[in-house]
Structure formats: structure tokens, C-alpha cells
Amino acid sequence: MNMSKVMRVAAREFASTAMTKGFIIGALVLPAAMALVISLVLMLSINAQPPADKGTIYLLDRSGEVASTATERMSPEEVEQRWQERAENAKKFAKEIIGNKFGSKVSDSIDQASISIDTPEFRVIQTDPDVDIEKLKEELRTQVAAGSASGDELEKLIAIIEIDADATRKANDDEGFGSYQAFFRPKLNEETVSEIESSIRWSIRELRYQNAEIDRDVVVELSSVKARKSMEITEEGERKESSGITSFVIPFVAMILLLMASMTGGQYLLTTTVEEKSNRVVEVLLSAVSPLELMTGKIIGQMGVGLSLLTVYNAVGIIALIAFSMGDLIDARMVLLIFVFFLLAYFMFASLMAAIGSAVNDLREAQSLMTPVMLMMILPYIFFMPVIRAPNSLFSTITSFIPPISPFIMIMRVSSTDPPPTWQVLLAILLNMIAVVFFLWIAAKIFRVGLLMFGKPPNFRTLIKWIRMA
């Protein structure tokens, strides 16, 4: 094989694929733009909260004892204080869940978020307990129909609360406590609604404690059981139980990266092969290079395409992780394995694509031969959940040794929280290398015969005949 000719073919293949506007936009700019848009939307949705609700609440207290507690509970000062406490707690919680390093970033953003959400402000008016609830509702309905009233926003009626007479004291021992009923103006912020409702519930509960002569603090103390982080006992010792983010996201991302990079290169290989065949440039090429040189060159060229995609996406991922102070999640061994498994997966997929591309007359005909290949490429998606739930189960172990899906399954296992032993990884690499040689051998045979065959699109039986023939 004349390597300089092979590399010449590869260079053209790479340039004609990767140096086009279509590729740069489709494969590089578009994902980057999407990532940008998604993060913008996320940031906007955090920062751009609707203005806080202000308004009047009619409190129709038929029990006769909740009203004053509830009014105090919903006074501007108390509401303000509670909102600040809640933000503090959220920060603490975030730190506990995600760990200190990343947690600080989260608490920063919670800071920003809580600053941007204004605390709602209420004016509570206790109505005559004997008033007809329908009249109050009618008033709210008229206000809603009139649209937003000008003038003082606090004048605006936003809610009517009707507290049952037996909300805090049972009418008799056979029945339970009564409750309350709330009516809201439409399109209030969710926070406002929950603030009002929780204040009412808190007030009702408070009065029930008083009536039963129970100290509230005692109840709180008695009902709280602090949860500690669960630990797993493994061969190596104790460790924290796997947390959601690392155990699911990283294997999934690794698998998708691998699939995307190998399929992009492979797909382009199919397209250019079909193109060369259908515009007959292939005969000119074959007068200069052998079919094997041509195929090798094309596969190497598209490997370059896949590698550059993988490199760009990996770099973006690594930069993103560092930017979010999650750099410690980057594992050099993982990055290396992604590239190794990419090469193995790509060579198998590319062989299939080269064989199919050389056998058909146009892309439409390629579809029927592509179907089984595509089904095969879906398998890693289907196997994602079972493999990631039990990375070392019999099923996971076996599927990670079966080419051509082996690279995808193995990368999931390797990046899971419970990676397989090194010998399994090495064995998978070895098995895949054998498979690559076999796939390339088959592809070379089909490629040689198929390139100059025009006419009826071949079926699998014809392909097997060609393999025997060549």
C-alpha cells in the first residue's frame, strides 16, 4: 500500500468534509449556539422573576381565634424575615448535597436569585365573620373583570380566606378538625399562593397547639429526625453512596459523545462514497489508487473528522467543568479511554458505512441496508439504564464484550461509580481490535467489488456473494 497516496486521499476526504460551511455550522457552531441559548434561558429564568405580588387579603374567620395570629404571620416584617431564612437554608442544603466546592457556586446563584425575587406584601383585612362569602367573591370577580386597578397596589384584592368555625376546636369528639378554604385572583406567583396558604396553615396549627396546651418547640423537636449521609461498605472501605449527578450524567455524556463522534464520521463516509460512486469519479481514482488504498484513505480522513469533533466537544466539556469549579471530575484516564473506544467504535462503524456506500447507487438505496446498522446503534441507549443501575451485573459485563456495541457499554461502565476491573477493560479493547480487523476485511472485499457495480441495489445475499467472490 502506498501510504503517501492513502494520506492524500485522507487529506481530501477530511478537507471536503470538515472544511465546509455546512460542517462547521452543523457540527461545531450549532451545538455551541445551542449550549449558549440553553444557558441563557436558564440564567434568565433564574433572574427574571415576575414582580412580587402585593394586595389585600380578606380573612373571614368563622373560628374567631385564628385571624389575629394569621394577620401577624402575614405582616410584611414577618414575611420578609422568613424569606431570608429560607434562602440561607437553601444555601446550606446545596452545600450539603453537592459538596463544598460546587456548593459555593450554587449558594452564590441562590443569593442572586433571592435578591431578585421581591418579597410579597400583604394587607390583611378581617371581615365580619357573618358576612356572605358570595358577596366577597363577587367583589373579587368584579375587580378581576375590571383589570388591573390603578392607584395603590395594596388596595388590590388578591385572596379571600374562609376559616371553618371548627378549624381549631373540634365541634365534638367524633369528628376531626375543620379546615379553611382559599380563593385567589388568577395568575398570582406560585410563591405568593404558597406563602399565604402556609401562613394560614401555620396559624391554625399554632392555635390547635395552644388549645391543647402543647409547646410548639417541643413538637418541632420531637418530630425532627436528622438524616445523615448514607455510606456504602465496599472492598476498599467506606464511601458515600453514589450521588445522582456523577452516576448518571457522566456515563450518559460519555456514551453520547462516543456515539455522536463515530456516527458523524461514519455517516460522512457513507455520503462521500456514494457520491464518488454515483458521479463516477471513482473510476478516475481507481486508475491512480487501489480500492484498498482508497478505502483506507477515506476511513482515515473521516476518522480525522470524528476526532476533531470529539476533541472540540471534550475541550468544551472540560472548560465547562473547570468554569463551574468541577475540575476534579475530570479524569485523564477517562479522556484517554474515550479516545481509544472512539477509534474502535469508529473503525467498525466506518467499515460498515464504506461497504454500504460502495454497494449502492444512491443514498436512498442505502437506507434499507442502513436499518440494521441503525438498530444496532440504538442498543446502547436501550441498555443505558440497566447497565448504569448495575454496572457489574452479568448483563452489563457480557454486553460490554460484544462488538460493535462493546465500546459504548464499556465506556458507560468505566465512567460509572463502580468501574470494572482493568483486565475487563483491556479484554474489551482486545476483542474490539479483533472485531475491527474482521470488519475492515469484510468491508475491503465488498468495497472492491461494489464500487464498479451499477444497477440493481444489492441485498444482503448479494453482499455475501461479493465477499466470497473477492
Partner 1 sequence: MQLGTPESNKAYTQSTDFKGVSMTNTTAMTASMAVSMEGVRKTFGKKVAVEGIDLAIPQGSIYGFIGPNGAGKTTTIRMIMSILFPDRGELSVLGKKSAVESKDRIGYLPEERGIYKKMKVGAFLKHIGRLKGLDSRGLGNIVMQWLDRVELADVHKKKCEELSKGMQQKVQFIASVLHDPDLIILDEPFSGLDPVNMRLLRSLIDEQHTKGKTVIFSTHVMYQAEQLCDHIIMIHEGKKVLDDTLEDIRTRFDPRAIHVDPVGGLGMSDEIAKVAGVTHVTPVEGALEVILSEGIDPQDAMKSLLAAHPMNRVEIKKPTLEDVFIEIVTDGVRSADAEQLRADLLAGSKLEEEGES
Q: By the criterion CB under 8 A, which residues form the site for partner 1?
A: 5, 8-9, 12, 16, 276, 279-290, 452
Is the Cβ of residue 141 or residue 280 nearer to partner 1 in the bound state? 280
Minimal distance, residue 304 CB to partner 1, in Å = 16
Q: Which residue, 305 or 310, has its beta carbon nearer to partner 1?
A: 305
- 294 or 435: CB nearest partner 1: 294
Cα–Cα distances in angstroms (integers) from residue 15 to residues 24, 272, 301, in the given order: 11, 12, 8
Minimum CB separation from partner 1 for residue 12, in Å?
6
Name residue 160's beta-bridge partners: 58, 183
| Contact present, 270 and 356 (Cβ < 8 Å) | yes
If the CB atoms of residues 36 and 288 are measured against partner 1, the closer one turns out to be: 288
**What's the Cα-to-Cα distance from 193 to each of 71, 112, 141, 199, rounded to whole Å?**
15, 22, 18, 10
CB-based contact 316:32 (threshold 8 Å): yes
Shortest spacing between CB 113 and partner 1, in angstroms: 50
Give me the residues paired with residue 60 across strands.
162
Q: In whole angstroms, how close is the CB of 361 to partner 1 at the nearest point?
A: 13
Task: Return the number of the residue (301 or 420) whose C-beta is nearest partner 1.
Answer: 301
Residue recorded with cell 460490554? 400
Nearer to partner 1, 294 or 436 (CB): 294
CB of 279 to partner 1, least distance (A): 6
Shortest distance in whole angstroms from residue 34 CB to partner 1 = 27
DSSP alpha helix (H) spans, 117-244: 133-146, 190-211, 216-223, 244
Cα–Cα distances in angstroms (integers) from residue 448 to residues 34, 291, 334, in the given order: 41, 6, 37
The DSSP bridge pattern shows strands 54-61 and 157-163 to be parallel
Nearer to partner 1, 85 or 283 (CB): 283
Round to whole Å and give the CA distance between 124 and 171.
27
Strand partners, 123: 56
Least distance CB 276 / partner 1 (angstroms): 8
Strand partners, 238: 233
